[in-house]
Structure 1
Amino acid sequence: MSNESARILYIEDDLASRRLIERVLTSRGYEVYVASEGLEGINLARDKNPELILMDINLPNMDGREITTRLRSLPNFSSVPIVALTANISPGSRELALAAGCTGFMTKPIDVATFPYDVQRFLQGASDQLSADERSQHLELHAQNLVERLENKVRELRSANKRLMELDSLKSDFIVLVSHELRTPLTLISGYSHLLAEQVNSNNEVIQAQSVVGIAEGLQSGVTRMQEVINEIISVVRISSGTLDLSLGPVRLAKVIGNVQETFKTVCEKRSVDLVVGDFSEMPLLQGDGRRLEAAIEHVIGNAVKYTPDGGQISLTGTKVKDKAVDIIIQDTGIGIPMDEQRRIFEQFYTLGAIEHHSTSKSAFQGGGLGLGLAIAKGIIEAHKGRIWVESEKRDAETLPGSTFHILLPIQPGKTPPMI
């Protein structure tokens, strides 16, 4: 086989460079294969058995020297010419490449006129040489680099494994929480259905209307609770898949906040929690989905209610930021949030504290829930190009340091709000 029809593999992450080399060499009759990263290149080399490999040095995941060392360990590539083709001309780069097993070293940008002749030369057996001292010195340096990269990879794997274990734990906790959250309304529905059946099958010819109303209310309570659980799961799935639809229109925050206040009025009165709402009447009109923004604020207020003890206070205020955004501030006198968990509370299925203490009531102090509320709030707010974060000194059920949530929403649609 003549060199002009030789198989050449080029491993390069830059698309423009791949196309240029491929066109130059293909026009000279070479059979050219290209790969954009190391593992793809190694697999392609095994499959195509190239007679020459051109290798960029600065590649993602595995650099060119590591790929060369790996290829040299394979029987079919112990003598195949591997030539570094790189823009890296820093001191020692050539020596490191040759010590790692490269046959030659060429720099980019290439000279289109002379490049094919350089390729032909390496195909015919040419090679760049290092002195014994240079090879020994740079081989040791290459080994140190490999060990350092290996240590970094081990750290990354440990971190990834830790995260996988956390996710597995979250998944298990979520299954327990869903089971608990669904069992509660199912128990209500089952109990009231049984009660209704007893009423129907009783000897009384006339069933008291008050009794029927009570049973109907109990059944409705159970169905509503189930709907809430299912809607939360559907919302978080839509947010995760990027299919959350927004019905955009003018939003009056005063109306949205008024609805939220009415939603929590009974719960706060029952637990003697003082819900203090500021004046939102002067807040500018926002462009957004009022229903979903209301749901997002409800989730944050619900979280504040859950972690604020009876007799505490929750305040809801708003302020304009540089005439570009509105900052909705929810501040509570609750148990607070640890510094290292203030980002994680917005993750799906994350629940602050042990699920063993999970209670039936979602509005009770440290009550139940699926751990989806804040994740849903974050998804809705980010869909509006807004941001949400929390500030808290620590978590302490004795001193009650409290938490302050910020919801920053742009006044103009599609505009990212300023940093504050």
Structure 2
Amino acid sequence: MSIRLKVILPYLLLTLVVAVIGVYVVTRLVSNTLSERLTNQLLEAGRVVSDNFVRQEVAHVETGRIVAYTSGLAEALRREDREAVLALVEPLVSGLSIQNLILITPRGTELVHIVQEDGEIQRVEENTGAAGSPIVQPYLQNRDEQEPPRRALGVNLVNDQYYYYTAIPVPLDDGFAGVVVIGTAIENILPFLKSTSLADVIIYGADGRAIGTTLGAGSADENTLNMISISDEDFRSLIVQDDVVTGENFELDGRWYRLARGPLQVGNDRVGVFAVVLPLNFVIQSTLDNRTTYVLLFTLVMLGVIAIGFSVTRLIINPLYSLVQTSQAIAGGDLDKRTGIKSNDEIGTLANTFDEMTARLKERTEELERTNELLTRMDKTKSNFIQISAHELRTPLTLIMGYSQMLEDKVKDDAEAAMLAKGILDGSERMTDIVGSMLDVSRIDSNSLFLKKTELQVEQLVNKVHKGFAPALKERRIKFETEGLDALPMIPADPELLQKVFHHLVMNAIKFTPDGGNVTISGKYLNGRVPAQVEVAVRDTGIGIDPDSHSLIFNKFYQTGEVLLHSSGKTKFKGGGPGLGLAIARGIVEAHGGKIWVESPGHDEKNYPGSTFFVSLPLEKKAE
């Protein structure tokens, strides 16, 4: 049997069983129509919302009376002693968690206005016009401390939030002392209404605009509020209804809802309109007996799922786990490891293919190891050949140079002979440089480069290199400049070897810079690194280096671009050479514990983008 059937058949049977049970649950438990259930639930939720607003009103009245009957408050309010009133009511605002408290004097002065948000109490200094509101004006006109509380929905101009307000008169022994207004933010009332009614709630203001809701992102979501608002005509019609009225279906955020609206009546005042909202797929839980049957049936289904899952695990996961273990062993270097899986399905085919691939990988690895060993021996032979050849060439070259110098002295009066002698001497010096480079490479390859470190000044070292290339710079009209070298600290380094580094870098800069170009050597002290570093940059205005060659140019015998392959090209434009200079420079710099690299935008023999070689050397001495 294939792995596809092993996976599909059990879950096909499971799907069939679940479908049969689902049909039974739907037909058995859902006895009434969805519309009837939604309507009943909406009407019940509407009654719960109305009752909870009444409870909120009772809490407002109790809080307002505590404030009004606080000892000394009525007298201070009547004489408009703001500081005395604040001293009395601020502890009450904090202790009773009053969100908005307004105190109006008998003359209509908004004496105290306090807003509390997130535990922080804010005194409002400006007049917000609360004394002119419809729930305060009747008290100021009638001046009757026995009048009942009044309530309304309104906007607090301090924070532009909608509040539910309750106003009560403040009595004094000899009459009316002012008005207390208690407010609670609608956005704080809504979550409690939702949790008790088990439905989303919408509150509408006097013009039919939704001022708060638990739908979507809540009261702060202006798009949601605009979408669920009603017309002023519908608002006037709803506010005179005697009960909750079911309304239309609507879609919000890809989900369909049904709502019921009704007047928000507290006492004798109808302060607004509210709506309760439920999703259309809301299903009321059925009877206890049917619920028990539902749980029992799905428990049996879950046991079946567990049993099938266990079987699938044994059929599929165990072989896959074996494959994982084998692959990890092979990744760790054990190429003799095999899966040991023997089956006729897809996993068996995968395991057999994997084992064959491992066997071929082992054969290829052994072949590469043999090749690498051969290449290592060849590289060692090449290094030995270079070292022996260099030593063998040095002695005859020394003789040639000596005889050439003697010959040059004897024929100095013969211009033609003197020119030939000088040519022999220049060629011998060039060949001696190449032999010296070959010996340096041999010592670097064999890790026998011995450093004689001393404290030295980079500027002095660069000046020596400049002096050696002065004739070539003059001949090629190349401007040589230094920047910041005099400010560099002393560094521990081998002066002879480090001079070779800058010798090769400057020689390359001259060779690959056209006549009339610039070569600049700059330095800076990097004290932020550990250890501190001295960084020297050799910058030219030459033909540049292709980014693909930035790492290759430090290899032995590597040449970039088209060069003139002749020994006399030491400082000529694009002059040739053996390709050892940068390899030697890298070996010497790394032996000092430093780093060398190049930066260049690319190779261009028309625009001359130039190249910059960086040498970074540590100031701290390392063990030699």
**Same fold by TM-score greater than 0.5:** yes
300, 325, 336: which one pairs with 1:67? Answer: 336
What's 2:29 paired with?
none
The gaps in structure 1 that reach 5 residues or longer are 1-54, 70-95, 100-129, 200-206, 416-420
1:292 aligns with 2:497: yes
Q: Contact between 2:594 and 2:618, CA under 8 Å: does it hold in 1? A: yes
Cα distance, 1:384 vs structure 2: 0.3
More strand by percentage: 2
Cα distance, 1:222 vs structure 2: 3.4
Give 1:366's aligned amino acid.
Answer: K
What's 1:376 paired with?
584
Q: Contact between 2:564 and 2:574, CA under 8 Å: does it hold in 1? A: no
Q: Distance between the aligned counterparts of 2:363 and 2:597, measured in 1?
A: 32
What's 1:410 paired with?
618
Q: Distance between the aligned counterparts of 2:587 and 2:411, measured in 1?
A: 47
Q: Contact between 2:330 and 2:337, CA under 8 Å: does it hold in 1? A: no
Cα distance, 1:233 vs structure 2: 0.4
Q: Distance between the aligned counterparts of 1:279 and 1:335, measured in 2?
A: 25
480, 483, 488: which one pairs with 1:278? Answer: 483
Task: Give the match's secondary structure for 1:229.
Answer: helix
Task: Give the match's secondary structure for 1:228.
Answer: helix
What's 1:78 paired with?
none
1:326 aligns with 2:531: no
Give 1:223's aligned amino acid.
Answer: S
Q: Judging changes above 3 Å, is the alpha-carbon distance between structure 1 residues 61 and 232 closer, same or farther for their aligned structure 2 residues?
A: farther
324, 347, 350: which one pairs with 1:140? Answer: 350
Give 1:371's aligned amino acid.
Answer: G
Q: Distance between the aligned counterparts of 2:563 and 2:519, measured in 1?
A: 24
1:338 aligns with 2:533: no
Q: Judging changes above 3 Å, is the alpha-carbon distance between structure 1 residues 220 and 196 closer, same or farther for their aligned structure 2 residues?
A: closer
Q: Distance between the aligned counterparts of 1:353 and 1:153, measured in 2?
A: 39
Cα distance, 1:229 vs structure 2: 1.2
Q: Judging changes above 3 Å, is the alpha-carbon distance between structure 1 residues 329 and 348 closer, same or farther for their aligned structure 2 residues?
A: same
Q: Distance between the aligned counterparts of 1:269 and 1:152, measured in 2?
A: 61
1:258 aligns with 2:466: no
Give 1:67's aligned amino acid.
Answer: D
The gaps in structure 2 that reach 5 residues or longer are 1-324
Give 1:370's aligned amino acid.
Answer: P
Q: Distance between the aligned counterparts of 1:263 and 1:400, measured in 2?
A: 25
Q: Contact between 1:328 and 1:406, CA under 8 Å: does it hold in 2? A: yes
Q: Contact between 1:196 and 1:215, CA under 8 Å: does it hold in 2? A: no
Give 1:143's aligned amino acid.
Answer: T
Q: Contact between 2:564 and 2:576, CA under 8 Å: does it hold in 1? A: no
What's 1:121 paired with?
none
Q: Distance between the aligned counterparts of 1:311 and 1:218, measured in 2?
A: 26
Q: Distance between the aligned counterparts of 2:554 and 2:351, measured in 1?
A: 44
Q: Contact between 1:359 and 1:366, CA under 8 Å: does it hold in 2? A: no
1:228 aligns with 2:433: yes
Task: Give the match's secondary structure for 1:281.
Answer: helix
Q: Distance between the aligned counterparts of 1:354 and 1:152, measured in 2?
A: 42
1:385 aligns with 2:590: no
Task: Give the match's secondary structure for 2:336.
Answer: helix
Cα distance, 1:260 vs structure 2: 1.2
Q: Contact between 1:392 and 1:403, CA under 8 Å: does it hold in 2? A: yes
Matches for 1:140-289 after TM superposition, within 5 Å = 140-144=350-354, 146-147=356-357, 210-211=413-414, 217-289=422-494
Cα distance, 1:330 vs structure 2: 0.7
Q: Contact between 1:236 and 1:372, CA under 8 Å: does it hold in 2? A: yes
1:367 aligns with 2:572: no
Q: Judging changes above 3 Å, is the alpha-carbon distance between structure 1 residues 397 and 145 closer, same or farther for their aligned structure 2 residues?
A: farther
Cα distance, 1:146 vs structure 2: 4.5
Instruction: Kindly provide the CA deviation profile for residues 73-114 of structure 1, in whole angstroms up to 9, marking residues without a partner as x.
Output: xxxxxxxxxxxxxxxxxxxxxxx3x22xxxxxxxxxxxxxxx
Cα distance, 1:367 vs structure 2: 0.2
Q: Judging changes above 3 Å, is the alpha-carbon distance between structure 1 residues 294 and 208 closer, same or farther for their aligned structure 2 residues?
A: closer
Give 1:374's aligned amino acid.
Answer: L
Matches for 1:39-188 after TM superposition, within 5 Å = 63-64=333-334, 66-68=335-337, 96=339, 98-99=340-341, 132=343, 137-138=347-348, 140-144=350-354, 146-147=356-357
334, 340, 348: which one pairs with 2:556? Answer: 348
Cα distance, 1:278 vs structure 2: 1.8
Alignment coverage as a number of residue pairs: 274
582, 597, 602: which one pairs with 1:394? Answer: 602
Give 1:235's aligned amino acid.
Answer: D
Cα distance, 1:220 vs structure 2: 3.6
Give 2:506's aligned amino acid.
Answer: I
1:309 aligns with 2:520: no
- RMSD (Å), alpha carbons: 4.2
Instruction: Kindly provide the CA deviation profile for residues 25-63 of structure 1, in whole angstroms up to 9, marking residues without a partner as x.
Output: xxxxxxxxxxxxxxxxxxxxxxxxxxxxxx998567885
Structure of greater relative contact order (alpha carbons < 8 Å, 6+ residues apart): 1
Q: Distance between the aligned counterparts of 1:266 and 1:152, measured in 2?
A: 60
Q: Judging changes above 3 Å, is the alpha-carbon distance between structure 1 residues 138 and 249 closer, same or farther for their aligned structure 2 residues?
A: farther
Q: Normalising by structure 1, what TM-score?
A: 0.56
Cα distance, 1:334 vs structure 2: 0.5
Q: Normalising by structure 2, what TM-score?
A: 0.38
Cα distance, 1:307 vs structure 2: 0.6
Q: Judging changes above 3 Å, is the alpha-carbon distance between structure 1 residues 280 and 62 closer, same or farther for their aligned structure 2 residues?
A: closer
Cα distance, 1:379 vs structure 2: 0.4
Task: Give the match's secondary structure for 2:617.
Answer: strand
Give 1:272's aligned amino acid.
Answer: R
Instruction: Kindly provide the CA deviation profile for residues 350-387 of structure 1, in whole angstroms up to 9, marking residues without a partner as x.
Output: 11134665563210000021100000000000000000
Give 2:454's aligned amino acid.
Answer: G
Q: Contact between 2:453 and 2:493, CA under 8 Å: does it hold in 1? A: yes
Give 1:238's aligned amino acid.
Answer: R
Q: Distance between the aligned counterparts of 2:572 and 2:411, measured in 1?
A: 33
